């Protein structure tokens, strides 16, 4: 059965999700920050973690965005193959949702229309949209506003198969060390291993949208996530990069088959304001 879905519904949902994601942090992130206060060894680090908690409370109560960099809107949209969209074309419907969300929600417009000429589009469009076609008649939207303090510290490494898992570990540690205080630690580290040059980057971005208290279903990947979190927290970078034992709150890794000649690894870093909103329509 084909399900008809007016894209005006997508627009309305995207609008609400932009506002929601920028003012309320998800429960898993709040718990991770709460937990961090227990094991943080630095007094200054503890003080900063407490301030981040107050920041979330103020954002929620007074409707002030958690961070002034309300990001570029990254949209993952999984469309059931039995859905038939009616109304405005889907891409325009998504961008209209972003336009309304960022304007009506008092969010910062941070997008420029051309990377060199750099004229602000004044409505935070266009969004970065990743479509996928899935079974069923539902549409699942994950909206993740991405700030660029941490985006700028992200990396892709085209390793050799011989570099193996040690090469992957080094790549992740190198990216985090280089990011240091610039990425607003405590950070969430998303890594993509395998695929091609662009696929691993996409895997790492998607990894950031997974809840931070849940591990990969693949055993070696789950073990790597745990090991890397421990290693990253031994670097000493700490909250705000001002020293401490909480440099990352989580490491989320996604993998994909790859070519006999390659081992692509992407590390997408997010700050402690790892925002995302998920809805199924």
Provide the binding-site residues for other proteins, judged by CB under 8 A: 41-42, 44, 47-48, 51-52, 54-56, 58-59, 62-70, 106-110, 118, 120, 122, 147, 149, 152, 173, 180-182, 184, 231, 234-238, 240-245, 271-273
Closest CA to 154 of 202, 96, 99, 119: 202
Between 129 and 173, CB nearer to other proteins = 173
Least separation in angstroms between residue 263's CB and other proteins is: 21
Least separation in angstroms between residue 162's CB and other proteins is: 22
Between 64 and 222, CB nearer to other proteins = 64
Between 56 and 208, CB nearer to other proteins = 56
Asked if 181 and 263 count as a contact pair (C-beta separation under 8 A), the reply is no
Asked if 263 and 193 count as a contact pair (C-beta separation under 8 A), the reply is yes
Least separation in angstroms between residue 197's CB and other proteins is: 26
Between 97 and 238, CB nearer to other proteins = 238
Closest CA to 49 of 274, 272, 276: 272
Rounded CA separation 223/201 (Å): 21
Between 204 and 245, CB nearer to other proteins = 245
Least separation in angstroms between residue 184's CB and other proteins is: 4
In terms of DSSP H, where are the helices of the chain?
Answer: 7-23, 27-39, 43-62, 90-104, 148-151, 164-179, 197-207, 219-232
**Tokens 């580290």 -> residue:** 189
Partners of 187 in the β-ladder: 248
Least separation in angstroms between residue 219's CB and other proteins is: 23
Between 245 and 254, CB nearer to other proteins = 245
**Nearest-10 Cα torsion for 142, 147, 153, 156:** 30
Least separation in angstroms between residue 271's CB and other proteins is: 5
**Tokens 């993998």 -> residue:** 255
Least separation in angstroms between residue 207's CB and other proteins is: 20
Neighbours of 30 (CB within 10 A): 13
Rounded CA separation 133/139 (Å): 9
SS3 267: strand
Least separation in angstroms between residue 106's CB and other proteins is: 5
Q: How far is CA 147 from CA 122, 208, 271, in A?
A: 17, 13, 8
Between 91 and 123, CB nearer to other proteins = 123
Closest CA to 147 of 197, 208, 203, 195: 208
Between 190 and 238, CB nearer to other proteins = 238
């Amino acid at each position: 059965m084909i399900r008809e879905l007016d894209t005006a519904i997508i627009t309305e949902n995207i609008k609400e999700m932009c506002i929601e994601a920028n003012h309320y942090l998800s429960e898993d992130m709040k718990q991770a920050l709460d937990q961090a206060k227990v094991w943080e060894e630095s007094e200054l680090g503890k003080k900063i973690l407490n301030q981040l908690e107050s920041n979330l409370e103020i954002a929620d109560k007074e409707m002030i965005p958690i961070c002034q960099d309300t990001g570029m809107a990254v949209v993952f949209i999984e469309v059931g193959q039995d859905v038939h969209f009616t109304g405005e074309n889907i891409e325009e419907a998504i961008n209209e949702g972003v336009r309304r969300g960022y304007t009506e929600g008092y969010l910062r417009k941070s997008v420029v229309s051309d990377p060199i000429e750099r004229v602000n589009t004044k409505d935070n469009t266009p969004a970065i949209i990743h479509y996928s076609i899935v079974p069923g008649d539902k549409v699942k939207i994950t909206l993740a506003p991405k700030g660029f303090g941490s985006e700028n510290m992200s990396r892709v490494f085209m390793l050799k198969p011989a570099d193996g898992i040690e090469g992957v570990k080094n790549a992740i540690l190198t990216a985090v060390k280089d990011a240091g205080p610039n990425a607003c630690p405590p950070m969430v580290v998303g890594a993509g291993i395998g695929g091609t040059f662009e696929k691993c980057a996409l895997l790492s971005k998607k990894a950031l949208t997974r809840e931070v208290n849940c591990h990969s279903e693949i055993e070696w990947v789950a073990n790597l996530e745990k090991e890397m979190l421990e290693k990253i927290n031994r670097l000493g970078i700490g909250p705000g990069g001002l020293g401490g034992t909480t440099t990352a709150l989580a490491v989320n890794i996604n993998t994909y088959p790859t070519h006999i000649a390659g081992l692509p690894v992407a590390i997408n870093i997010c700050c402690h304001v790892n925002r995302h909103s998920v809805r199924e329509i």
